[in-house]
């Protein structure tokens, strides 16, 4: 085999190897992004709510179970509060794509009517002062409805029924989104940095 043909063959192999790696990387990044888009990031969060009815703890809303009958022990429940609320702390700031809420089936599906989904980095008024993604007009009993929050950024997601004496019950809350890489102001306040704190 002449050195010319050998060199030509090596060039072809290198080109093939180069483009093969590009295609593999593009495919890998696409699959990884697809997984992140579909992942329920609420599952790893910390949750709380305005009050507790019985043993209906706020963690029930992120247990990965859409069971919507009270007897199945998968729905949260507050007391009959004025402006009851539930909150998940995602621990980092995310760009939120969607929030999906599953409503109770066996009783009182109208209680969720008028609830607001709020997203942001502030804990003012327990997080209920953050910007609104949407107002829930209604969710049929025992069904799940997805709301598009169009990339709103925040560490905290609240579901609050404003200005009304009501019980808040959530049978599942699912959230999709991507990390922004930003540090929320609530976290920044704990940093011992004179330069940073001088701008507060």
Per-residue pLDDT at 199? 35
Confidence grade of residue 186 (pLDDT, cut at 50, 70, 90): very low
Q: What is the pLDDT of residues 114-158, one digit of tens each?
A: 999 999 999 999 999 999 999 999 999 999 999 999 999 999 999
Per-residue pLDDT at 20? 75
User: What percent of the chain lies above the pLDDT cut of 90?
Assistant: 70
Adjacent-strand bridge partners of 48: 87
Per-residue pLDDT at 200? 36
**pLDDT above 80 (res 94):** yes
Give the pTM.
0.75
CA atoms within 13 A on the CB side of 187: 13
């Amino acid at each position: 085999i002449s050195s010319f043909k050998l060199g030509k063959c090596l060039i072809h192999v290198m080109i093939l190897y180069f483009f093969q790696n590009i295609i593999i990387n593009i495919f890998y990044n696409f699959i990884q992004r697809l997984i992140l888009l579909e992942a329920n990031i609420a599952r790893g969060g910390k949750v709380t709510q305005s009050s507790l009815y019985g043993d209906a703890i706020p963690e029930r809303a992120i247990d990965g179970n859409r069971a919507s009958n009270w007897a199945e022990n998968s729905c949260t429940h507050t007391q009959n509060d004025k402006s009851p609320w539930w909150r998940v702390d995602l621990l980092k700031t995310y760009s939120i794509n969607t929030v999906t809420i599953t409503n109770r089936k066996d009783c009182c599906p109208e209680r969720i009517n008028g609830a607001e989904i709020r997203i942001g980095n502030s804990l003012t008024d327990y997080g209920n002062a953050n910007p609104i993604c949407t107002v829930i007009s209604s969710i049929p009993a025992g069904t799940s409805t997805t709301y598009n929050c169009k990339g709103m950024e925040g560490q905290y997601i609240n579901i609050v029924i404003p200005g009304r004496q009501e019980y808040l019950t959530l049978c599942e809350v699912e959230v999709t989104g991507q990390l922004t890489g930003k540090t929320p102001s609530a976290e920044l306040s704990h940093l011992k940095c004179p330069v940073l704190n001088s701008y507060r």
